[in-house]
Amino acid sequence: MAEVLVLAEQGGTSVHRATCALLTLARRLGVPAAVVGGSPDPAGTAVLGRFGARTIYPVTAAEVDEHPVAARVEMLVHLARRNRPAAILIASGRDGLEIAGRVAVRLDSGLLSDVIDVTDGPVVVQSVQGGAYRVESSVVRGIPILAVRTEYVTVVPAPAKPRVSPVRVPFPDRVRAVRMIARDRTRPRELSTAAVIVAGGRGVGSRAGFELVRQLAAALDGLPAGSHAAAEQGWCPPEMQVDQVGTIVHPSLYLALGISGSMRHRTAMRGAATIVAIDSDPQAPIFQLSDLGGVGDVHKVVPELIAEIERRRAQPRIVEG
């Protein structure tokens, strides 16, 4: 069977769940091979092997850390031209989608995004129109480049003993055209993988009002987010925007505060398992989508909600048996 390249994501010494999901899908298409930026430690190698990686291609160079997107494009293009894989799998996300698109152009190959499942061929299942439809698609030109929504994938181990084969990639000058000048070490995990999201919109009224969004998110151990209107007003940074052209999310719980619910916003969050909305307008479109809705002023409702959460957490729990 042909090799299937998987772009492995790591956080420090740990392998991301997204990578395990990609390896799970890659096993259906061929022989999984993990492409790793940096030297894999023994623990990381063991995890990659546990989920089926037969080969690990580590690439160690200064460019990998200093120019993460451009370097990974070169890594995948180099290996694809050398090994002619059956497919290349990349986890969706801001960087992942950019990498996938650039690799597809460089290889003159087809790209499929929003992939949630694959079968031999490869034929993929895509979630489109904000999760309203699922379609089957296939690439008809070149090496299939698949950008996968890994939160949809059930991770299944299949232990293998991987071979570590270091790769030397010639990085051209264009990789260094953009350089990193700072990195926010406190940046939270991506919205696209969050289990609980609290989002605020125009109805929170101000930057100070948006603090209620952050406070409620903290109380629920979730992530704060904003609508297009909130980001446009400067109440939250662009990376916190839930929008059809921002971040599309699928949390277990989504709380919308002061968000009327434009089509672009509803498309981006309709995949949430449970949606709770609070808005002062009883005719707000967001209520058409919500599982639970409350008509009211978020400045009055949210402080009471936070107080109730804190009160319940302070109560001792009685464990029977």
Based on the fold, state whether residues 143 and 291 are members of the same structural domain.
no
Token representation of residue 82: 């050398």
pLDDT of residue 319: 45
Q: Has residue 149 been placed in a domain?
A: yes
Q: Has residue 204 been placed in a domain?
A: yes
**In 10 A of CB 318, how many CB atoms?**
5
Based on the fold, state whether residues 198 and 167 are members of the same structural domain.
no
Based on the fold, state whether residues 89 and 207 are members of the same structural domain.
no
Q: Has residue 182 been placed in a domain?
A: no
Q: Has residue 288 been placed in a domain?
A: yes
Binding-site residue ranges for FAD: 202, 258-265
Preceding omega of 122 cis (within 30 degrees of 0): yes
pLDDT grade for 321, boundaries at 50, 70 and 90: very low
Q: Which of 150, 176, 202 is the last residue of a domain?
A: 176
Q: Which residue has the higher pLDDT, 174 or 22?
A: 22
**Has residue 207 got a pLDDT over 70?**
yes
Contact (Cβ atoms closer than 8 angstroms) between residue 264 and residue 285: no
Q: Has residue 305 been placed in a domain?
A: yes
pLDDT in tens, 18-74: 899 999 999 999 999 999 998 878 889 999 999 999 999 999 998 988 888 999 999
Give me the chain's average pLDDT, please: 90
Distance from CA of residue 312 to its chain's centroid?
32
Amino acid at site 243: D
Q: How many domains does the chain have?
A: 2
Based on the fold, state whether residues 116 and 231 are members of the same structural domain.
no
Token representation of residue 44: 């990381």
Based on the fold, state whether residues 20 and 166 are members of the same structural domain.
yes
Q: How far apart are CA 277 and CA 168, in angstroms?
A: 52
Q: How far apart are CA 114 and CA 192, in angstroms?
A: 12
Contact (Cβ atoms closer than 8 angstroms) between residue 255 and residue 276: yes
Based on the fold, state whether residues 161 and 200 are members of the same structural domain.
no
Based on the fold, state whether residues 99 and 231 are members of the same structural domain.
no
Which CATH number covers residue 251?
Answer: 3.40.50.1220
Q: Has residue 321 been placed in a domain?
A: no
Query: By residue range, what is the domain housing residue 87?
Result: 3-176
Q: Which of 176, 203, 238 is the last residue of a domain?
A: 176
Pairing of strands 55-59, 163-164: parallel
pLDDT in tens, 75-119: 999 999 999 999 999 998 778 999 999 999 999 999 999 899 998
With H, G, I as helix, E, B as strand and everything else as coil, classify residue 37.
Answer: strand
CA 204-210-216 angle, to 5 degrees, is 105
Based on the fold, state whether residues 143 and 259 are members of the same structural domain.
no
Q: Which of 135, 152, 176 is the last residue of a domain?
A: 176
Q: Has residue 279 been placed in a domain?
A: yes
Based on the fold, state whether residues 23 and 124 are members of the same structural domain.
yes
Q: Has residue 148 been placed in a domain?
A: yes
Which CATH number covers residue 102?
Answer: 3.40.50.620
Is residue 273 classed exposed, middle or buried when 0-12, 13-18 and 19+ CB atoms within 10 A define those classes? exposed
What is the chain's length?
321
Based on the fold, state whether residues 79 and 215 are members of the same structural domain.
no
**Has residue 128 got a pLDDT over 80?**
no
Q: Which residue has the higher pLDDT, 243 or 110?
A: 110
Binding-site residue ranges: 202, 258-265
pTM of the predicted structure, to 2 decimals: 0.70
Based on the fold, state whether residues 19 and 163 are members of the same structural domain.
yes
Based on the fold, state whether residues 120 and 202 are members of the same structural domain.
no
